[in-house]
């Protein structure tokens, strides 16, 4: 058991070591594939440690003083290992490991230094995410929270030569920072009120009803804002689809399985605190459900396969948040874990397809199932899991979420989520039917990817199926009323059927359906992303650019003006003063004599 | 009026007179000679203060050495310039006022200061005391001074040598 | 005679030396003024040493004299160099440092 105490630290330290090694030893980094091997070895060892911890069901809290202060440290750092963290550890290390292996093949055409850079960022990300998961307090969590944000920025902008990628990276950074601003203010306010950042202390106080802070509602709302940004909740969800400019494995790891779920993880972690403020909790639930529905409608009209998956991720994050808001945080976290598996699977599958076809547009694919049956099969498994078809993992977690929301008597959010379930099945099968089963419109070079890519795919697919079977065999606790399971299966199947009718069978013309009255409005809105991007654009232009112009004017005329006047005066003053410097030695002696006299007078008058 | 008092006034008068002559005479050569007189008078003041050794040093080094060097320098520069060096003065009024002000300032402190202690009886031979102090607490300083003199000698040589 | 008399005498010599430094045009003349000022300081030192019974003042006077000798040697060497270069020792015309 003694070993286990150090194991979490080791799990955390390994990726960091790899990062340091790659960051400092430039030749290693520039070697590309060698750097990849270093990163993969580190994360593989981490995965082993995480599995060991998880298997033991290890619980442990270790903190060290960080900011010393009067009467005990102001803040601590440490490791908090509990079942929640354990499960997250396994998910993070597993997906990181698989993604890093996958990237070796996916990014094989990259120049070696760029590949080394990629693995440096990957190691840093793994370290940061693990640190976030293991945080025993808000402050440490915030530090790692920002670190993963940084990694996200770096990896979205991996192809920084592309203007779109650079812009997307900046956009992701700014918009998540908007939420983080609330997060840090909330943390500091909470600290001011309670004097601690630590979860354990805060939860103990919450349990003892010692947290009767009048501003707790505001504080928790501000902290929730951090999750809104990070987990792409409405209205800050706009960065996630754009983040698809990064390499697909990055999308799978950061923007599907791990980083974006940090918000859900934080809300789950701080559940005892959120439970004290029902209003905020309800808001979380409503926003989550609304986000889920909104993103699902946008996914239905998107043609870019990665963007469909991105909207789907936003939608599923809404699911998790809705569950957390309904007080069923375990259900949300459960969905987080299963979603992490099959969404990573879907992204990696999509990556394989994009790699093969060379395009993101699903209407330029088609008949791919024949060309790459293995990829098609695993993609189908992921799609079924996402659609919530039993007995795959997604079904159980989705049902748990729906049951939790229903149990909390949040009827409208429940309806929105149910509608989302239907739309999810529809848009996912729209992709599957169009890309894999439609008429073969692709150029024809489509082929199965290398084993380094296929291996992770198969592993994730197997895990999705096995987890589902295990849950099915376990009987699956009843999450809510008896009609729930049939309803959710029915909705999923209806979605599949509609997609089949529209995109496979051709019984319904998508264009005519979209033109029908109530849907036509929705279609137009969804295609314009509900004007949110335009709104942000306008705000950006209106506010930031106007502000920049104002600042520029101030800088040019006020700041520079003051400087110019000051420098002119200095010049003129110096010109006047230089006449004192006659260059004749005796004049300087006069100066010395006057100095002595001044000192004498000064001593006489003021030194008594 | 003791003999010492009479001697002080005589020496003081000689010192002040020759000092004034140094700064007032237009002929530089004469000024150097007056300086020699002033230095000798200073030496006599030292003698009045029971410091015969310093009197000797003053005569040998100052009145002997320094004045000789200055005379050499004047003759050398005179030869270089090729004309007799007379020296004019500038800002005589300003200089007088400032110098007088400095004197008044210092004298003010003297008047205001505490009553001067009476002259204590002489405690042994000052020359012996100086000798002991030089090789005792001031030994390092003395060595450093030797170093400084060597450096000054070399520096003066370097500066004054002709370019060849 | 009291200590005050000696100090006043020294102050007078100092003032005279200062006057010389301030008014002389010739660089050698300035040096002579400096000598006078240093002498005044020496008188002070010796007088204090005598009236306080402290030998340190005498030793310091000795050091001052030695340093003065060095200063005069170097100073005159500089004056000679200036002569060679600028053909003058008029302090008014040695104004390369003019601002």
- Tell whether B100 lies on the interface with A, counting CB pairs under 8 A: no
pLDDT band at A569 (very low <50, low <70, confident <90, very high): very high
pLDDT in tens, A189-220: 888 888 888 888 888 888 887 777 778 888 88
d(CA C20, CA C38): 13
A589 touching chain C per CB within 8 A: yes
The tally of CA atoms less than 13 A away on the side-chain side of residue A412 is 7
Q: Tens digit of pLDDT for each residue in A11-70?
A: 888 999 999 988 888 888 888 888 888 889 999 999 998 888 888 877 878 888 887 777
Task: Count chain B–chain C contacts defined by CB atoms under 8 A.
Answer: 236
Read off the pLDDT of residues A349-372 as tens digits, 9 standing for 90 and up: 888 888 888 777 777 777 777 778
Is the separation of the CB atoms in A310 and A246 below 8 Å? no
Answer whether A123's CB lies under 8 Å from A39's CB: yes
C-beta atoms of C98 and A586 within 8 A: no
Among C92, C93, C94, most A C-beta atoms within 10 A, so best to mutate, is: C92
Model pLDDT, residue B79: 59
Check CB contact under 8 Å for B98 and A594.
Answer: yes
Which of B21, B73, B85, B93 is most worth mutating to test chain C (most C CB atoms within 10 A of its CB)?
A: B73
**CA A336-A338-A344 angle, 5° bins:** 90
Instruction: Flag whether pLDDT at B17 surpasses 90.
Output: yes
CA angle A565, A567, A571 (to 5 degrees): 115
Percent of chain A scoring above 70 in pLDDT: 95
**pLDDT of B43 above 70:** yes
Q: Which three-class secondary structure state does DSSP give residue B27? A: strand
Per residue in A495-541, pLDDT tens? 888 888 887 777 777 777 776 667 777 777 777 777 777 787 788 77
**Gap between the Cα atoms of A385 and A393, Å rounded:** 6
Residue A128: both structure tokens together = 């940061």
Chain C residues whose beta carbon lies within 8 Å of the beta carbon of residue B130: 55, 58-59, 62
Whether A515 and chain B come into contact, CB under 8 Å, resolves to: no
Query: Which is more confidently placed, B27 or B103?
Result: B103
Tell me the shortest Cα–Cα distance from A587 to chain C, in angstroms.
Answer: 8
Question: A592 to chain C, minimum CA–CA distance in Å?
Answer: 11
pLDDT at B82 over 60: no
Phi, psi of C53, deg, nearest 5: 65, 35
Q: What angle do CA A496, A502, A506 make, to 5 degrees?
A: 130
Distance from CA of B77 to the nearest CA of C (A): 7
More confident residue, B40 or B29: B40
Mean pLDDT, rounded, for B63-89: 71
Q: Does C18 touch chain A (CB under 8 A)?
A: yes
**ipTM of this model?**
0.87
Both tokens of residue B23?
A: 């700064």
**Bridge partners of residue A78, in order along the sequence:** A63
**Per-domain residue ranges for chain C?**
3-98
Q: Which residues, at least 6 apart from A603, have a Cβ–Cβ distance to it below 8 Å?
A: none
Q: How many CA atoms, within 13 angstroms, populate the side-chain half-sphere of residue A419?
A: 16
Cβ–Cβ below 8 Å for A589 and C95: no
Contacts of A592 in chain B (CB under 8 A): none
Buried b (16+ CB within 10 A) or exposed e, C16-47: bbbbbbbbbbbbbbbbbbbbbbbbbbbbbbbb
A607: which 2 tokens?
A: 């030194």
The pLDDT score that the predictor gives to residue B85 is: 56
Residue to test with chain C: of A580, A585, A597, most C Cβ within 10 A: A585
CA C64 – CA B95 distance, rounded (Å): 26
C neighbour chains, 3+ CB pairs within 8 Å: A, B
- pLDDT at position A454: 84
C46 and B45 in contact by Cβ < 8 A? yes
Q: What is the mean pLDDT of chain A?
A: 84
CB spacing of A585 vs C30 below 8 angstroms: yes
- The pLDDT of residue A477 is 57
**Backbone φ, ψ for residue B89 (5° rounding):** -115, 155
Q: Where do the H-state alpha helices sit in A301-410? A: 305-325, 329-357, 368-371, 373-387, 393-407
pLDDT tens-digit profile of A223-271?
998 889 888 888 888 888 888 888 888 888 888 888 888 888 998 888 8
Instruction: Evaluate if residue A562 carries a pLDDT over 80.
Output: yes
Q: A316-339 pLDDT, tens per residue? A: 999 888 888 888 888 888 888 888
Do B8 and C29 count as a contact with CB atoms less than 8 A apart?
no
Cβ neighbours for A230, distance < 8 A, ≥ 6 positions apart: A145, A149, A176, A179, A180, A259, A260, A262, A263, A266
Q: Which CATH architecture has domain B3-117+124-160?
A: Up-down Bundle (1.20)
Domain ranges of chain B: 3-117+124-160
Residue A588 C-alpha, separation from nearest chain C C-alpha, in angstroms: 9
Q: What pLDDT, on the 0 to 100 scale, is given for residue A252?
A: 86
A79 phi and psi angles, rounded to 5 deg: -130, 130
Calculate helix-pair angle for C56-86, C27-52, nearest 10 degrees. 180
B104 vs A: CB within 8 A: no
Nearest-Cα distance to chain B for A597, in Å, is 6
Give the max Cα distance, chain C.
Answer: 50
* Nearest residue on chain C to B12, alpha-carbon basis: C9
3-class SS shares of chain B: helix, strand, coil, % to 5:
75, 0, 20
Tell me how close the Cα of B129 comes to any Cα of chain C, in angstroms: 7
Residue B114 pLDDT > 70: yes
Q: What is the mean pLDDT of each run of 10 residues along chain C (99 residues)?
A: 86 92 84 90 90 87 88 85 77 70
Residue A212 exposed, middle or buried by CB count within 10 Å (0-12, 13-18, 19+): exposed
The share of chain A scoring above pLDDT 90, in percent, equals: 9
Best interface-test mutation with B: which of C4, C5, C22 has the largest number of B CBs within 10 A? C22
How many residues are given for chain C? 99
Q: Which fold has domain C3-98?
A: Helix Hairpins (1.10.287)
Does A586 touch chain B if contact means CB atoms closer than 8 Å? Answer: yes
User: Which one, of A372, A375, A398, A367, lies nearest residue A385 by Cα?
Assistant: A398
Please state the φ and ψ torsions of residue A274, each to the nearest 5 degrees. Answer: -65, -30
Look-up of token digits 């030869």? B79
Least reliable range by pLDDT among A144-158, B46-60, B73-87, B104-118: B73-87
**What does the alpha-carbon distance between residue A341 and residue A244 come to, in Å, rounded to a whole number?**
18
Cβ contact, residue pair A590, B98, below 8 Å: yes
**Shortest CB distance from C21 goes to which of A578, A582, A586?**
A586
What whole-number distance in Å separates Cα of residue A487 and Cα of residue A526? 26
Find the radius of gyration of the CA atoms of chain B. Answer: 20
How many CB atoms are located within 10 Å of the residue A438 CB? 20
- Mention every residue, 6+ apart, whose C-beta is less than 8 A from residue A102: A249, A252, A348, A351, A452, A453, A455, A456, A457
Beta carbons of A594 and B102 less than 8 Å apart: no
Best B102, B108, B110, B112 member to test A by mutation, with max A CBs in 10 Å, is B102
Facing residue for C47 by CB, picked from B49, B80, B107: B49
Instruction: Determine contact, residues C42/B55, Cβ cutoff 8 Å.
Output: no
Determine which helix (DSSP H) or strand (DSSP E) holds B50, and give its type and residue range. none
A575 has a chain C CB within 8 A of its CB = no
How much is the pLDDT for A441? 64
Residues in chain B: 164
Instruction: Determine the pLDDT at residue A446.
Output: 67
Place of tokens 């990829």: A375
3-state secondary structure chain C: CCHHHHHHHHHHHHHHHHHHHHHECEHHHHHHHHHHHHHHHHHHHHHHHHHHCCCHHHHHHHHHHHHHHHHHHHHHHHHHHHHHHHCCCEHHHCCCCCC
Non-local CB neighbours of A327 within 8 Å, separated by 6+ positions: A275, A281, A404, A408
Chains that touch B (3 or more CB pairs under 8 A): A, C
Measured between beta carbons, the chain A residues lying within 8 angstroms of C16 are: none
Across the interface, whether the CB atoms of C23 and B23 are under 8 A apart is answered yes
């Amino acid at each position: 058991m003694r070993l286990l105490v150090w194991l979490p630290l080791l799990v955390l330290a390994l990726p960091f070591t790899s990062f340091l090694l790659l960051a400092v030893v430039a030749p290693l980094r520039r070697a590309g594939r060698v750097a990849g091997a270093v990163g993969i070895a580190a994360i593989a060892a981490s995965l082993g440690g995480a599995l060991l911890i998880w298997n033991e069901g290890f619980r442990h809290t270790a903190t060290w003083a960080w900011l010393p202060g009067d009467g005990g440290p102001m803040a601590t750092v440490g490791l908090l290992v509990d079942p929640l963290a354990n499960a997250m550890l396994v998910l993070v290390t597993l997906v990181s490991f698989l993604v890093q292996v996958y990237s070796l093949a996916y990014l094989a055409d990259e120049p070696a230094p760029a590949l080394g850079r990629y693995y440096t960022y990957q190691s840093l990300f793994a370290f940061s995410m693990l640190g976030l998961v293991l945080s025993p307090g808000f402050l440490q969590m915030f530090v790692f929270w920002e670190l993963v944000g940084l990694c996200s920025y770096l990896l979205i902008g991996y192809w920084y030569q592309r203007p779109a990628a650079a812009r997307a990276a900046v956009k992701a950074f700014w918009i998540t920072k908007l939420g983080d601003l609330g997060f840090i203010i909330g943390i500091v306010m909470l600290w001011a009120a309670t004097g601690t950042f630590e979860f354990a202390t805060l939860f103990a106080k919450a349990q003892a009803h010692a947290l009767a802070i009048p501003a707790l509602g505001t504080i928790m709302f501000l902290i929730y804002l951090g999750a809104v940004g990070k987990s792409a909740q409405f209205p800050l969800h706009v960065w996630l689809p754009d983040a698809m400019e990064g390499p697909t494995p990055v999308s799978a790891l950061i923007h599907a399985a791990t980083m974006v779920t940090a918000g859900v993880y934080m809300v789950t972690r701080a559940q005892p605190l959120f439970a004290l403020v029902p209003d905020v909790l309800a808001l979380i639930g409503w926003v989550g459900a609304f986000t889920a529905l909104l993103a699902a409608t946008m996914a239905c009209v998107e043609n870019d396969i990665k963007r469909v998956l991105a909207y789907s991720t936003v939608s599923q994050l809404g699911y998790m948040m809705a569950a957390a808001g309904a007080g069923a945080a375990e259900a949300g976290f459960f969905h987080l874990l299963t979603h992490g598996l099959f969404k990573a699977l879907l992204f990696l599958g999509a990556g394989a397809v994009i790699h093969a076809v060379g395009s993101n547009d699903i209407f330029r694919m088609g008949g791919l199932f024949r060309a790459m049956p293995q990829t098609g099969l695993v993609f189908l498994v992921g799609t079924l899991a996402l659609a919530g078809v039993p007995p795959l993992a997604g079904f159980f977690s989705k049902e748990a979420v729906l049951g939790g929301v229903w149990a909390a008597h949040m009827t409208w959010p429940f309806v929105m989520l149910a509608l989302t379930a239907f739309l999810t099945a529809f848009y996912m099968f729209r992709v599957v039917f169009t890309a894999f089963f439609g008429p073969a419109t692709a150029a024809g070079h489509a082929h199965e990817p290398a084993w380094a890519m296929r291996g992770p795919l198969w592993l994730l697919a197997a895990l999705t199926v096995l987890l589902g079977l295990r849950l099915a065999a376990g009987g699956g606790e009843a999450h809510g009323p008896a009609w729930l399971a049939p309803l959710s299966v029915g909705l999923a199947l209806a979605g599949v059927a509609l997609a089949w009718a529209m995109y496979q069978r051709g019984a319904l013309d998508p264009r005519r359906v979209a033109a029908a009255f109530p849907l036509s409005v929705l279609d137009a809105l969804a295609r314009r992303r509900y004007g949110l991007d335009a709104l942000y654009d306008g705000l950006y232009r209106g506010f930031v650019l106007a502000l920049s112009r104002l600042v520029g004017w101030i800088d040019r005329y006020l700041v520079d003006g003051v400087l110019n006047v000051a420098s002119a005066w200095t010049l003129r003053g110096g010109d006047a003063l230089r006449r004192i410097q006659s260059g004749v030695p005796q004049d300087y002696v006069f100066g010395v004599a006057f100095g002595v006299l001044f000192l004498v007078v000064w001593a006489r008058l003021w030194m008594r | 009026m003791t003999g010492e008092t009479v001697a002080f006034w005589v020496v003081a008068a000689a010192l002040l007179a020759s000092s004034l002559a140094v700064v007032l005479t237009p002929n530089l050569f004469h000024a150097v000679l007056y300086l020699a007189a002033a230095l000798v008078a200073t030496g006599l003041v030292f003698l009045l203060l029971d410091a015969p050794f310093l009197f000797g040093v003053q005569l040998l080094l100052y009145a002997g050495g320094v004045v000789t060097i200055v005379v050499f320098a004047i003759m050398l520069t005179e030869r270089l310039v090729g004309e007799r060096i007379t020296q004019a003065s500038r800002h005589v009024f300003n200089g007088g006022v400032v110098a007088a002000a400095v004197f008044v300032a210092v004298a003010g402190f003297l008047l205001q200061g505490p009553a001067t202690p009476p002259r204590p009886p002489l405690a042994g031979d000052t020359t012996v005391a100086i000798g002991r102090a030089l090789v005792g607490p001031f030994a390092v300083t003395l060595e450093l001074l030797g170093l400084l003199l060597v450096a000054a000698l070399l520096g003066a040589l370097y500066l004054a040598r002709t370019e060849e | 005679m009291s200590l005050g008399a000696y100090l006043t005498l020294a102050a007078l010599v100092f003032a005279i030396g200062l006057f010389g430094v301030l008014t002389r045009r010739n660089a050698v003349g300035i040096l002579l003024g400096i000598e006078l000022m240093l002498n005044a300081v020496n008188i002070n030192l010796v007088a204090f040493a005598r009236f306080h019974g402290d030998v340190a003042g005498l030793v310091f006077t000795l050091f001052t004299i030695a340093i003065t000798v060095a200063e005069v040697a170097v100073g005159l060497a500089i004056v000679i160099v200036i002569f060679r270069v600028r053909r003058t020792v008029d302090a008014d015309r040695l104004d390369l440092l003019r601002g």
